[in-house]
Amino acid sequence: MAIYESEHTKFMREWMEKHPEQIEEQKKGRALWWDKPQDLDSQARAQASKVPVKPYYYDINH
């Protein structure tokens, strides 16, 4: 059984093979936007301070 691979995936795979320097750029971009250190205390405070949302926002009777 053949596994489907989209044209975009094929293009990106070929691009990365032809341009190996882009791997470092990819890692830098990921570190800039996604790989952040996690602080469990601040996450717990944020979770505890959430206000429950009303079922219907515009209903003034509830």
Q: What is the average pLDDT value for the chain, to the nearest integer?
A: 88
Q: Which two tokens stand for residue 17?
A: 């093979």
First to last CA, the chain: 57
pLDDT band at 62 (very low <50, low <70, confident <90, very high): low
Q: Which residues contact 56 (CB under 8 A, 6 or more apart)?
A: 62
Q: Which two tokens stand for residue 16?
A: 């990365």
8 SS3 class: helix
Res. 60: pLDDT tops 80: no
pLDDT band at 44 (very low <50, low <70, confident <90, very high): very high
Domain residue spans of the chain = 7-49
Confidence at residue 33, expressed as pLDDT on a 0 to 100 scale: 84
Between helices 7-18 and 22-33, what is the axis angle to 10°? 110
